[in-house]
A and B are shown apart, each in its own frame.
Chain A
Amino acid sequence: MRWEFAMENVAAGEAPIAAELHMDNDAFAGFYERSARPLWAYLARVCGDASLADDLMQESFVRFLCADHPQDGEVAARKYLFRIASNLLKDHWRRAKSTPIDDVPEEIFAVSQPSGQSESRAILDPALALMRPRDRQLLWLAYAEGYSHREIAEVTGLASASIRLLLFRARRKIAALLRDQSAGKRGAQ
């Protein structure tokens, strides 16, 4: 016996409370307008693949809408969105790791360059490509998004106490890489 009769309102679009989203269409459109670009930039920089960033961004927003996200303002909501995106990235890397190395296409290993190359990106992209994904994540959240150590811990799920040291090391490493890039560029000219 099926129980559609009990869920007529669900099927007809008159969703019961359990199926309602926590944000209406207009409010979400505004939130999307303000959050999509920073989120895409974060994903594209960390994963190094524009089309993957597109997919992960869309999935992040869908999960954000489905989840019981914090209702205390846009800053908290955005942090929650970044947290979802970070978890999706983590899942993506975990899946990639479980694939036998012979089955992975060559392009996966190269960080593809998103369109619209500019001078600062031309220096930053090769340097970021040499960093570990977690370091890219920490650096972007700290220096592009301006999150504090506590907020980064919330977004990434790492221990708050370890963020300072990890970030310090990552910054030192990327600074050295950026200097090398600049020196190499000047030498080539």
Chain B
Amino acid sequence: MTLRSCSREKEVRELVLRGQWPQAAGDELREHVAACRSCSDLALVMPTFLAARSQSAGSAVSGSVVSGSPGVLWWRAQLRRRKEAMERIDKPIVGAQIFAFAITIVIAAVFFVSQVRQGAPWLSARWLPLQWLDRFGHLPHAVSDYLAGLWTSASAMPVWGLTLGLTGLAAVALFSGVVLYLDRQRQ
């Protein structure tokens, strides 16, 4: 199918839009439209669609097809917007909470292990993590070696330094959440 539009389509379109087709069209234009496929298509299709549009709009009013008042829609939109705003606010806070919780668990674990290493009287020596690692005999050697190395290097650090570092990380995580929250609220 070749795309060949006619230069006289514009005249036909204007007459149809004014509701004056074919009454106000000259004989010459009518003859052209009768002979031109593109213009005759336009002269047939456009008035049909315009009539259908006005009839649909009419039935929308008379047949109460357009249900739902603008007030109800506005209220629904406001509820949805608030819900979205609350979700947006909640998201960084929940993230920061999860991160802070994870850091707390790590700090607690480090504290527990340091107590064991220092021979805390309330803990039995048989709970030493290195002995735990021995129980992972079924793990591949690379993994158990890595865990043992990790434990050795962690225990070599001063405990207070490690705790301070992790507490600092937790604080940064919490502040990031708060900054993100404030930024979202500003937006």
Contacts and interface: CB of A to CB of B under 8 A. Distances in A.
B67 A144 contact: no
A93 interface: no
Contact of A45 (B56, B67, B97): B56
Nearest to A6: B89
A153 interface: no
Interface string A158-170: 0000001100110
A32 B72 CA distance: 12
A144 B60 contact: no
Interface string B65-94: 111101101101110111011101110010
How would you classify the secondary structure of chain A's contact residues: helix, strand, loop or mixed? helix
A41 B44 CA distance: 20
B181 to A, nearest CB: 8
A50 B65 CA distance: 7
A33 B57 CA distance: 11
Contacts of A40: 56-57, 60, 65-66
Interface in A91-144: 114-116, 118, 120-121, 123-124, 139-140, 143-144
Chain A residues touching B, range:
35 or more
A122 B51 CA distance: 12
A36 B59 CA distance: 12
B57 A16 contact: no
Contacts of A121: 52, 55-56
A114 B17 contact: no
A184 to B, nearest CB: 15
B22 interface: no
Interface in A56-75: 57-58, 61-66
Interface of B: 1, 3, 5, 17, 37, 40-42, 44-46, 48-53, 55-63, 65-68, 70-71, 73-74, 76-78, 80-82, 84-86, 88-90, 93, 97, 181, 184-187
Given A115-B59, A175-B44, 5 more contacts: A1-B97, A15-B82, A21-B74, A41-B60, A144-B49
Interface of A: 1, 3, 6-7, 10, 15-21, 25, 28-29, 32-33, 36-38, 40-41, 44-45, 50, 53-54, 57-58, 61-66, 114-116, 118, 120-121, 123-124, 139-140, 143-146, 164-165, 168-169, 171-172, 174-175, 178-179
